[in-house]
Structure 1
Amino acid sequence: MIDAHVPLSKSELTRQKDSLASYRRYLPALDLKRQQLMAERNKARVEVRQHEEAAAAAIEAAGAALPMLADDRIGLDGLARLTSARLGTQNVAGVTLPVLEDVEIEVAPYGLLTRPHWVDAVVAELKAAIRLRVEAEIARRRITILDKAMTRVTQRTNLFEKILIPQTERNIRRILVYLGDAERAGVVAAKLSKRKRALEAA
């Protein structure tokens, strides 16, 4: 849609051309940002799957390697539990994302004499599974943030590609046509005036 309020003047033509150049410079930067965010989102999706699979594999491996877990007389409930997770931040294309820096896992005290020696191996597997699950959750959070950021970037890209750039191009064409018509009309008027003076002089 052509902006009817755009002044049809040379100064406005210059302003519109400057705006168009600015939009065209900005568009590749937006597209690059969108590509970076998409790549990071795809990476986070892979990480979620890998961490979840690794956590499940750790628990499965513990069960396969330690068949004694089937012994109900040995209590393992609450043996290891997450107490805190320390997060940092990472900047990707101007978007702040959470990064897992450390986890604290509390291991319930157990006496070496009151529980079998293989409980140590179970604790190690449980701690590994807990950390992997936390990493998967952080990756899911990153995906949520990246999805929102990509939506915003896509909206801005569409604004430039489908509205601002085409509208500015139409405004420029309209001003050029008007200025061209005005110039031709001026030339014609000057010729007519000159001819009239010549006739009057004769």
Structure 2
Amino acid sequence: MARLQLNKSSLAKHTRALKSYKRFLPSLDLKRQQLLAERAHAYRILDELKSEEEALYHFVKTQLPMLSNSDIDISNLIAIEDITVAEENVVGIKLPSLKHIAFSAPSYSFLAKPHWVDNYCLQLKKTVTATIKIALQKQRINRLEEAVATITQRVNLFEQVLIPQAEHNIKRIRIFLSDEQMVAVVRAKIAKKKVLDQTSSLSNPIDSAEGML
């Protein structure tokens, strides 16, 4: 660590740095508050999506009990044909967002399948969509958690290290310069007194000579 220079130039440097830190800190803290709010919102959405998924499972379980009939083939009824995940900028953080999902379904004879299969396919699409949204929402939360941790470290750096250190350095330099100024004043007074004494002695040579007898 570089040794602290106790001079006016160093004082000006640390004073400018302190002003910069104090000017930048509020914007950092504001962004942290925004990220914390966005993270809390993301968790609420995740809870809603999980509730939606549970509700879908409950609906299928209670409204479509015939699914337990192993004689009816309900495999490969749908498939994900296309899925589009985009990124949106939230408080400067890129977060994934589901933009589009398309399903394909093989055609089957209405006579070969019971009437409730169509409803099951619809609920299955909703459930798959909810599951994908949950996975993406977890990714959003992970990125927000990382962003919150990073900016919290920066805020703590300013609050607990940079600003206190700059204030401490400024205080040390000012005390040193004040002491130096005081010493200089004392030296100047002593020098002035010596000059006055010498001048007084030279202006009264007879008194000086008599003082020597």
TM-score (norm 2): 0.87
- What is residue 42 of structure 2 aligned with on the other side? 44
Cα-to-partner distance string for 1:10-45 (whole Å, 9 max, x where unaligned): 121111111111111111212111121122222222
**Structure 2 counterpart of 1:132, one-letter code:** A
**Counterpart contact for 1:98–1:138, Cα < 8 Å:** yes
CA RMSD in angstroms comes to: 1.6
Aligned residue number for residue 58 of structure 1: 56
Q: CA deviation at 1:136?
A: 0.6
Q: CA offset at residue 103 of structure 1? A: 1.4
Q: Bigger shift: 57-66 or 173-182? A: 57-66
Please give the secondary structure, in 2, of the residue aligned with 1:102: strand
Aligned sequence identity (%): 37
Larger radius of gyration: 2
In the alignment, the residues of structure 1 paired with residue 147 and residue 21 of structure 2 have an alpha-carbon distance, to the nearest angstrom, of 20
Q: 8 Å contact 1:49–1:136 — kept in the other structure?
A: no
Q: Distance in 2 between matches of 1:55 and 1:82?
A: 18
Partner of 2:142: 144
1:74-93 correspondence to structure 2 within 5 Å: 74-93=72-91
2:152 is paired with a residue whose SS is helix
Q: 132-141 or 149-158, which moves further after superposition?
A: 149-158
> Would the aligned equivalents of 1:36 and 1:92 in 2 still touch at CA under 8 Å?
no
1:185 to 183, 186, 206: 183
CA deviation string 1:91-110 (max 9, x = no partner): 12221111111112232322
Quote the residue 2:168 is aligned against.
Answer: 170
Per-residue deviation, residues 118-161 of structure 1 (Å, max 9, x unmatched): 21111111111111111111010011111111111111111111
2:55, 2:155 → 1: CA distance?
42
| Residue identity matched to 1:172 | I
Shift of residue 116 of structure 1?
2.1
Could you tell me which amino acid in structure 1 is paired with residue 43 of structure 2?
R
Equivalent position to 1:24, from 22, 25, 28? 22
Q: Which runs of 4+ in 1 moved over 4 A?
A: none
- 1:105 corresponds, among 103, 106, 111, to 103
3-state SS of paired residue (1:75): coil
1:13 to 5, 11, 16: 11
Aligned length in residues: 200
Match of 2:114 in 1: 116
C-alpha distance in structure 2 between counterparts of 1:44 and 1:108, whole Å = 36
Question: Residues 8 and 175 of structure 1 are in contact (CA less than 8 Å); yes or no, is this contact kept in structure 2?
Answer: yes
TM-score under structure 1 normalisation?
Answer: 0.92
Q: Is the 8 A contact 1:87 1:100 kept in 2?
A: yes
- Decide which moves more: 169-178 or 187-196: 187-196
1:83, 1:106 within 8 Å by CA — same for their partners in 2? yes
Mapped partners of 2:30, 2:19: distance in 1: 18
1:115 is paired with a residue whose SS is coil
| 3-state SS, counterpart of residue 183 of structure 2 | helix
Unpaired runs of at least 5, structure 2: 201-213
Aligned-partner SS, 1:158: helix
Q: Measure, in 1, the Cα distance between the counterparts of 2:76 and 2:48.
A: 25
